[in-house]
Amino acid sequence: MAEPVVKAEGVHKSFGRLEVLKGISMAVNQGEVFVLIGPSGSGKSTLLRCINHLEEINAGRIWVDGDLIGYRQVGEKLHELRDSEIVTARAKIGMVFQHFNLFPHMTALENVALAPRTVLDRSADEARRRAAELLKRVGLADKADEYPARLSGGQQQRVAIARALAMDPKVMLFDEVTSALDPELVKDVLDVMRELAKLGMTMVVVTHEMGFAREVANQVIFMDEGVIVEQGAPEQVIRSPREERTKRFLGLVLER
């Protein structure tokens, strides 16, 4: 079998005295949708942020597309990567945030076209053409020239997805992307994600949308207090969980 796109081994992460990740190992294969569920504070968002080096890990290793994240291994020793090297690695990883984080001083189109132009050195024309294409794909062709403040939350989040896709990432990370949305706007965003999954995009998704997880995920991990409690196919983890903690959590979430 081919090398996994994302691989983590024994990942530990602490904020001061608080240990948030206590030895996480996982592998996400090409084209897989990998869903992380768990109560807030369980470390799932932190794990996502470690994958693209927004957080530095304290122990363990993470590889994306075969490259070690954050370090270069020379013999037994790890050397910190320089900023420019970290940046190159990050460009392969798309990330979508809970609060969209669109650039408010740029139009939707400029938001999508900026990074391809500055990071990938594409021409302005090409970047804009491709941005327009991507906005069309997320159903926002008519909003290209709007500033984020004039878009709904759901529309902003779809622009954010288009912005991440513009970098042609090897893997997309989704950090609770529907949590800040009004209920009626959630579906549009999930539809875009379903479409992406169908097209074979490798995705790591932190979410509370159990319906989405059951339908789209290839693998589900339930995390609690910094460890993986249960892992498997969605049918198994969500429908018939073995662990008590998983059952309790799902009971609370599915009750709504």
Which residues of this chain interact with other proteins, rule CB under 8 A? Answer: 52, 54, 83-84, 87-88, 90-95, 97, 99-107, 114-115, 118-119, 147-150, 156, 160, 163-164, 167
Cα–Cα distance, 42 to 79 (Å, whole number): 30
Does an H or E element contain 248, and which?
A: helix 244-255
> Which of 94, 241 has the CB closer to other proteins?
94
In angstroms and rounded to an integer, the radius of gyration of the C-alpha atoms of the chain is 18
Looking at beta carbons only, is 100 or 212 nearer to other proteins? Answer: 100
Shortest Cβ distance from residue 215 to other proteins (Å)? 27
Question: Which amino acid does the sequence have at 186?
Answer: V
Q: Which of 193, 211, 210 is nearest to 249 (CA)?
A: 210
Q: How far is the CB of 197 from other proteins (least distance, A)?
A: 20
What minimum distance in Å lies between the beta carbon of 119 and other proteins? 4
d(CA 173, CA 179): 15
Residue placing its CB nearer to other proteins in the complex, 203 or 210: 203
The helix/strand count (H/E) of the chain reads as 9, 12
64 vs 228 by CB, closer to other proteins:
64
Minimum Å gap between C-beta 114 and other proteins is 6
- As beta bridge partners, residue 223 has 228
Which residue stretches of 31-178 are H helix? 44-51, 83-90, 108-118, 124-137, 153-165
For the bound state, the minimum distance from the C-beta of residue 168 to other proteins, rounded and expressed in Å, comes to 11
Of residues 150 and 248, the one with the C-beta less far from other proteins: 150
Q: Please, which residue, 108 or 237, has the CB nearer to other proteins?
A: 108
- What is the closest distance, in whole angstroms, from the C-beta atom of residue 115 to other proteins in the complex? 4
CA 132 → CA 92, 126, 204, 235, distances in Å?
Answer: 21, 10, 25, 38
User: In the structure encoding, which two tokens stand for residue 36, read together?
Assistant: 């992380």
Question: What residue has token string 């294409």?
Answer: 133
